[in-house]
């Protein structure tokens, strides 16, 4: 496809239900956009450009048992008008059949995202800590001060020097707003999934029900601050049901 922002966009996937005759399944997915967004001064070049890929390997019967496993590896790269985003992660899922109709699984997922190349300090500060200076104080020296030094035979001051006598601040110092840095947010989560299927046909069911529910928790409850849990990584906490 083609879009004014994403430019030329291509996506494709390859899957195999019986990998090398082992009964395992594998899938590979990729999505690429060349980028068609205009670049303005100070903005990252190639806005709209992106790459996303995912590799998945599933074993429905570990050693011919009732247990199953799934491993996912993924990565993405995106350029927006505000910043460049680089990310990647992995997921591991272990499941078990409870009879012929019920399946339960527990999965762990870790995702790391890195934000760079901000087009403006105003965007950068919303990912920075209060101790980080995202834009230093800008100063200028009044023309009258410079003229006085020239008339006295002295070396003229640099107009942007904040230490110059008579210098005035034209732009204040800009710092972040958080108690820690969030340029590289990490999401670490556990997911519990339960599914039930008693339909009479896998491809064309006429009777029966299919039920699925899951709960995902990112981070673990604790008496400390939001970032107090550092066991398996993660500084974002939320729950999805």
Q: pLDDT (tens digit, 9 = 90+) per residue, 208-231? A: 999 999 988 876 555 555 443 433
Better-scored residue on pLDDT, 203 or 67: 67
The predicted pLDDT at position 193 comes to 94
- The answer to whether residue 182 scores a pLDDT higher than 50 is yes
- The answer to whether residue 197 scores a pLDDT higher than 80 is yes
Separation CA 237–CA 179 (nearest Å):
16
The predicted pLDDT at position 230 comes to 39
CA dihedral 222, 226, 228, 230 (to 10 degrees): 110
54 with 157, same domain: the answer is: no
108 with 227, same domain: the answer is: yes
Q: What is the mean pLDDT of residues 10-31?
A: 92
Q: What is the mean pLDDT of residues 33-57?
A: 85
Task: Look at 69-73, 166-170, 176-180, 187-191 and tell me which has the smallest mean pLDDT.
Answer: 166-170
165 with 200, same domain: the answer is: no
14 with 103, same domain: the answer is: yes
Report if residue 229 sits inside a domain.
yes
Tally the domains of the chain: 2
- The answer to whether residue 51 scores a pLDDT higher than 70 is yes
* Cα 64 to Cα 4, 101, 104, distances in angstroms: 51, 17, 17
Instruction: Name the pLDDT band for 233 (thresholds 50, 70, 90).
Output: very low
34 with 109, same domain: the answer is: yes
Separation CA 132–CA 134 (nearest Å):
6
195 with 76, same domain: the answer is: yes
Name beta bridge partners: 218: 189, 238
Range of the domain at 163: 141-172
The predicted pLDDT at position 120 comes to 84
Report if residue 227 sits inside a domain.
yes
| % pLDDT > 70, the chain | 78
* Most confidently modeled range among 35-39, 97-101, 175-179: 97-101
Instruction: Name the pLDDT band for 122 (thresholds 50, 70, 90).
Output: confident
- The answer to whether residue 154 scores a pLDDT higher than 70 is no
158 with 229, same domain: the answer is: no
Angle at 21 between CA 17 and CA 23, to 5 degrees: 50
What would the two tokens of residue 98 be? 């409870």
Single out the residue of 185, 169, 177, 79 nearest to residue 124, CA to CA: 177
| % pLDDT > 90, the chain | 36
Report if residue 72 sits inside a domain.
yes
106 with 192, same domain: the answer is: yes
> For the chain, what is the mean pLDDT?
81
User: Rg of the chain over CA atoms, in angstroms?
Assistant: 27
The single residue listed with the structure tokens 């989560």 is 189
8 with 83, same domain: the answer is: yes
159 with 234, same domain: the answer is: no
33 with 108, same domain: the answer is: yes
- The answer to whether residue 131 scores a pLDDT higher than 80 is yes
pLDDT digits (tens, 9 = 90+) for 61-105: 998 899 999 999 999 999 988 889 999 999 999 999 998 899 999
166 with 217, same domain: the answer is: no
Helix, strand, coil fractions of the chain, as percent rounded to 5 = 10, 45, 45
Measured over the CA atoms of residue 104, residue 67, residue 70 and residue 20, the dihedral's sign is negative
């Amino acid at each position: 496809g083609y879009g004014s922002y994403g430019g030329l966009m291509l996506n494709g996937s390859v899957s195999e239900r019986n990998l090398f005759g082992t009964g395992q399944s594998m899938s590979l997915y990729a999505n690429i956009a060349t980028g068609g967004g205009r670049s303005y001064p100070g903005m990252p070049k190639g806005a709209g450009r992106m790459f996303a890929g995912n590799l998945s390997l599933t074993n429905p019967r570990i050693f011919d048992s009732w247990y199953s496993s799934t491993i996912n590896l993924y990565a993405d790269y995106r350029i927006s008008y505000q910043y460049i985003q680089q990310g990647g992660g992995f997921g591991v899922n272990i499941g078990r059949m409870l009879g012929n109709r019920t399946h339960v699984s527990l999965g762990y997922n870790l995702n790391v995202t890195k934000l760079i190349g901000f087009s403006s300090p105003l965007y950068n500060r919303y990912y920075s800590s209060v101790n980080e200076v995202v834009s230093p104080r800008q100063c200028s020296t009044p023309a009258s001060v410079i003229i006085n030094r020239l008339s006295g035979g002295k070396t003229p001051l640099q107009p942007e020097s904040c230490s110059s006598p008579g210098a005035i601040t034209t732009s204040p110092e800009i710092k972040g707003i958080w108690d820690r840095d969030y340029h590289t947010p990490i999401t670490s989560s556990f997911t519990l999934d339960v599914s039930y299927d008693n339909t009479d046909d896998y491809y064309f069911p006429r009777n029966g029900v299919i039920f699925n529910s899951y709960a995902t928790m990112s981070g673990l409850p604790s008496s400390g601050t939001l970032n107090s849990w550092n066991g398996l990584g993660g500084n974002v906490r939320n729950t999805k049901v």
